[in-house]
Amino acid sequence: MFNGMRIGSSGMKTAQNVMDNVADQISNASTAGYKQKQADFSDLLVNEIGKNQLGISAGSKAVMSKTDFRQGAITPSEGSFHMALEGMGFFGVVSPEGELTLTRNGGFHQNGDNSITDDSGNLLSMECYVPFGQWPQGSEISIGGDGIITAKDSSGDAVQLGKVIIYATGNSDELISLGEGRYSLKDGLALYNSADNPGIGFGVLRQRALESSNVDTIQSMTDMIMTQRAYQVNAKSITAADDMLEVINTIT
């Protein structure tokens, strides 16, 4: 009886963890560059019975197997520094503490000092050919597919201001999710960038566009319903075991 209650309890915890993941996906379905996470189920220790090594599962647990980095749809946007990557790679953003993290969310904007940051204030990783303070004021900014940022000076001549750096890793599955669509690298994971490794074949940058999340909302809603049912079944198994123990205690 007690084993049955423990198994039911582990099942409820598993369902809760899966539900948390599903809720996170649904809430971020409209977040630019968001990548859904895949949850797998794993058996807890199996109790072996007899010589044939048959066994009864001791419960289950939810395992976040990996992040799905498949590209989302590219949609138009009005921001001059809104960018989407079509193909392989990540934007790099640098926190106020100087930590580099990776993201597919290209929702950047230009500040009063001409610096380019995301909505959290993290600087876009780029090469500056011209210091921010010397960028032409009021000039239309153009960002090419290779990340080159250009504008026209007071004479009407095109001037290259800098280049957006694109990053790629040796294995994206080993990236560590920090939330908000940002990722850090595990120790020892190779990191490449478009400035030093131009031959790798990075994605093409699209200005005035954003990459949508790759969340399938209909599938997520289906997963939510199935997870609710699993939670209810495990809760009923605990109730049944409790009822049986109450009957046994009454008899004795």
pLDDT digits (tens, 9 = 90+) for 85-137: 999 999 999 999 999 999 999 999 999 899 999 999 999 999 999 999 899 88
Cβ burial, residue 242 (10 Å; 0-12/13-18/19+): middle
For the CA atoms of 203, 207, 213, 216, the dihedral, rounded to the nearest 10 degrees, stands at -90
- The answer, yes or no, to whether residue 141 has pLDDT greater than 60, is yes
* 191-221 pLDDT, tens digit each: 999 989 887 889 999 999 999 999 999 988 9
Length of the chain: 252
Paired tokens of 120: 């959290």
Q: What is the pTM of this model?
A: 0.77
The rounded percent of the chain whose pLDDT value lies above 70 is 87
What whole-number percentage of the chain has pLDDT above 90? Answer: 45
Give the angle subtended at the CA of 75 by the CAs of 69 and 77, to the nearest 5°: 120
> Is pLDDT larger for residue 199 or for residue 1?
199
The pairing of strands 109-110 and 116-117 is antiparallel
The CA-based dihedral angle spanning residues 119, 122, 125, 130, taken in that order and rounded to the nearest 10 degrees: 90
Q: What are phi and psi of 134, to 5 degrees?
A: -105, 10
